[in-house]
């Protein structure tokens, strides 16, 4: 027997709640979705009524998910992702593999090599429908396995037994901090300079690559900074940094998404700038002609021999 209220919940209710959580503001979420502020507020109130829980703590400065809200938002994101996969699968079947390419990633495309590669591919193949999917690395690999995306470009090697792998580029690790932070005035910043800092990371960051790099450079635990992972988007982490709650470590491609009052600084290890390598992963049995064309572009831009999945 259906649970009371369940039939009333629509995708628009879930999208409104997820957008509010990502933006930290009902007004900004409404602007992002292109709807009236009153309509978004009503949609969230209805969802709260039907699930029987308050999803957000409201204040003058914005909204923050409650404990119950975080759980419901996590499930809402999963539902919306499954709907996206449903649409991707339907379009792929309807349009034919040769006319569509689905690319998964888990980093910013505000700047850097991924953005440049996508732009160049669209210029060379304007007739190919290009679909971009941003997910965590674990979910991207799952989507790659079940065929809902054609290729995943992620930091680290991320070994996948039934895929091929191509090393593409590397990105510098940057420190994101307030412009008035003491480290902002340093000409050279090293990992040891982070000892007394609080490093804020998003739960939606691609993986543990940055954290692993920090640990490898600061072997002694007492020399490491405090690491806090927050169940919010990377955009909200920037807001927390602007409030003076800590600093963050980001990849170079994030530099195009500037935020007022914050600045980027390069972090050095013993040999120079600290970097993380990126790899492209795809299924060897994927015969999509658009995928082969994109792989040829990557091999041309970043020449190196392909490596079979381990």
Q: What is the spatial distance between Cα 191 and Cα 227, in angstroms, rounded to a whole number?
A: 14
Q: Which residues of 263-275 are buried (b: 16+ CB within 10 A; e: fewer)?
A: bbbebbeeeeebb
pLDDT at 306 > cutoff 70: no
Helix (H) or strand (E) holding 124: helix 113-124
In this prediction the pTM is: 0.62
Instruction: Determine how many CB atoms are found less than 10 A away from the CB of residue 45.
Output: 14
User: In angstroms, what CA-CA distances link 43 with 39, 74, 247?
Assistant: 6, 18, 34
pLDDT recorded at residue 234: 78
pLDDT level of residue 307 (50, 70, 90 thresholds): very low
Kindly state the percentage of the chain with pLDDT values over 90.
Answer: 41
pLDDT at 119 > cutoff 90: yes
Q: What is the spatial distance between Cα 32 and Cα 29, in angstroms, rounded to a whole number?
A: 5
pLDDT level of residue 1 (50, 70, 90 thresholds): very low
User: In angstroms, what CA-CA distances link 107 with 53, 256, 278, 303?
Assistant: 33, 12, 11, 22
**Domain made up of 82-169+277-308: CATH architecture:** 3-Layer(aba) Sandwich (3.40)
Q: What three-state secondary structure class fits 57?
A: strand
In terms of DSSP bridges, do strands 62-65 and 56-59 run parallel, antiparallel, or are they unpaired? antiparallel
pLDDT level of residue 309 (50, 70, 90 thresholds): very low
Strand residues in 35-162 grouped as ranges (E): 56-59, 62-65, 100-105, 129-134, 151-155
Which listed CATH number (2.40.50.140, 3.40.50.300, 1.10.10.10, 3.40.50.2000) goes with 6-76?
Answer: 1.10.10.10
**Could you tell me where in the chain the CATH 1.10.10.10 domains are found?**
6-76
**Could you tell me where in the chain the CATH 3.40.190.10 domains are found?**
82-169+277-308, 171-275
CATH 3.40.190.10 fits 171-275, yes or no: yes
């Amino acid at each position: 027997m259906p649970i009371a209220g369940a039939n009333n919940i629509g995708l628009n209710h879930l999208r409104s709640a997820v957008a509010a959580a990502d933006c930290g503001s009902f007004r900004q979420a409404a602007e992002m979705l292109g709807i009236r502020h009153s309509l978004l507020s009503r949609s969230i109130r209805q969802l709260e009524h039907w699930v029987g829980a308050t999803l957000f703590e409201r204040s003058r400065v914005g909204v923050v998910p409650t404990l119950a809200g975080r759980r419901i938002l996590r499930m809402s994101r999963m539902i919306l992702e499954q709907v996206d996969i449903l649409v991707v699968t339907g379009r792929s079947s309807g349009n034919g593999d040769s006319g569509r390419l689905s690319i998964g990633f888990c980093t910013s495309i505000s700047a850097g090599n991924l953005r440049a590669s996508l732009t160049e591919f669209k210029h060379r193949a304007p007739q190919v429908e290009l679909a971009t999917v941003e997910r965590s690395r674990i979910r991207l690999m799952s989507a790659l396995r079940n065929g809902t995306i054609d290729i995943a470009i992620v930091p680290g090697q991320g070994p996948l037994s039934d895929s091929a792998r191509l090393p593409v580029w590397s990105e510098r690790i940057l420190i994101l901090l307030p412009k008035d932070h003491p480290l902002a005035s340093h000409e050279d910043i090293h990992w040891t300079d982070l000892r007394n800092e609080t490093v804020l990371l998003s739960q939606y960051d691609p993986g543990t690559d940055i954290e692993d790099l920090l640990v490898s450079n600061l072997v002694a635990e007492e020399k490491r900074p405090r690491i806090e992972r927050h169940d919010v988007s990377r955009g909200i982490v920037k807001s927390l940094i602007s409030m003076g709650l800590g600093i963050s470590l980001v990849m170079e491609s994030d530099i195009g998404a500037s935020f007022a009052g914050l600045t980027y600084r390069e972090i050095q290890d013993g040999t120079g700038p600290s970097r993380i390598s990126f790899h492209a992963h795809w299924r060897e049995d994927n015969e999509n002609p658009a995928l082969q064309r994109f792989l040829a572009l990557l091999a041309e831009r970043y020449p190196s021999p392909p490596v079979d999945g381990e």
